[in-house]
A and B are shown apart, each in its own frame.
Chain A
Amino acid sequence: MKCRECDAFLVDYVSGELPAEVLATFELHLSRCRNCRTYLEQYRATIDAGKTACDAYKEGLRMPEELIQAILAAKPKAPS
């Protein structure tokens, strides 16, 4: 397996969905290729960074009062 094939399998590898027969070859390549190990580390760190940054935004976002009032004002009289 070359780095190019290893790269194509990353999405399944990080979600634990790589078929067993491919996994062994993939991990053999990783054990021999420092560059792919580093890339995998950065790929995982990127996923974690996105999650951390967006979760922090979710926790801290303030719902503007005028937006709440607009939503309440747009409500029909009763469920149709």
Chain B
Amino acid sequence: MPQTLDQDQGDQRPDSSVDETELLSRLRAGDDAAYEELVRTYSPRLLAVARRIAGTDEDARDVIQDAFLNAFRSLKNFHGDAKLSTWLHRIVVNSALMKLRTRKRKPEESIEPLLPSFQADGHYAEKFSSWGDRADEAVSRTETQELVRQRIDELPDSFRTVLVLRDIEGLDTEETARVLDTTPNAVKIRLHRARAALRTLLAPHLGRGEL
């Protein structure tokens, strides 16, 4: 049975304020303790990144293991022109995307039913009601946050990855296009559709301000 990933129950988190230069020189010197420090310091946040892109706990576990192994093997190519955390983040993103590409998948479901429709005269077919402050209040609650993440997971892979890379991980359009091997315009179109679909999925919950 696949093991699920858990949230902290008040455990002490590793100190992320490490001296990256010092850690890097210890890693290059083959210091085993430095490698353990690297894994313990950076892996929780990177595991979360892997989980959002890969879409399942089980795949995220595979991704994080592959990513650290790739990082260790590529240490000689890391010249410190980016932060160590940024470099590791990039490796995890690429490993997660690789996992998606190699995973046996069902054909993607169409996102069209989740997009807004328009009347013949170009107006939205639906009349929208303001969410007001109810959306902010709802999202401050742990259970709503879990629901939002579940709805993101429901998006087809090609839309979820763009939304995660752009809106969650903060990559810009060009970098997203590069890692996905597509064009900036295709990224913008997919991002817009992913946001619109997620809005539709969240509307029954955020519009009411409750689950």
Contacts and interface: CB of A to CB of B under 8 A. Distances in A.
Physical interaction between A and B: yes
Interface of A: 2-5, 7-8, 10-12, 15, 35-36, 38-39, 41-43, 45-58, 60-64, 67-68, 70-72, 74-80
A38 B43 contact: no
Interface residues of B, number: 70
A2 B199 contact: no
Contact of A38 (B68, B130, B188): B130
A80 B191 CA distance: 39
A79 B122 contact: no
Nearest to A33: B123
Interface of B: 3, 5-9, 11, 27-28, 30, 32, 35-36, 39-40, 43-45, 47-49, 51-52, 61, 64-65, 68-69, 72-73, 75-76, 116, 118, 121-124, 127-131, 135-136, 139-140, 142, 144-146, 148-149, 152, 163-164, 167-168, 173, 188-189, 191-192, 195-196, 198-199, 202-203, 206
Contacts of B206: 42, 45-46, 49
B123 A5 contact: no
26 contacts: A3-B124, A7-B118, A7-B196, A8-B192, A11-B191, A35-B127, A42-B131, A45-B131, A46-B195, A46-B198, A46-B202, A46-B206, A48-B135, A48-B139, A50-B163, A50-B167, A52-B139, A53-B146, A54-B48, A58-B49, A63-B40, A67-B43, A68-B36, A68-B43, A72-B39, A74-B69
Given A47-B167, A70-B65, A57 B145 contact: yes
Contacts of A74: 65, 68-69
A2 B120 CA distance: 11
B121 A38 contact: no
B26 to A, nearest CB: 12
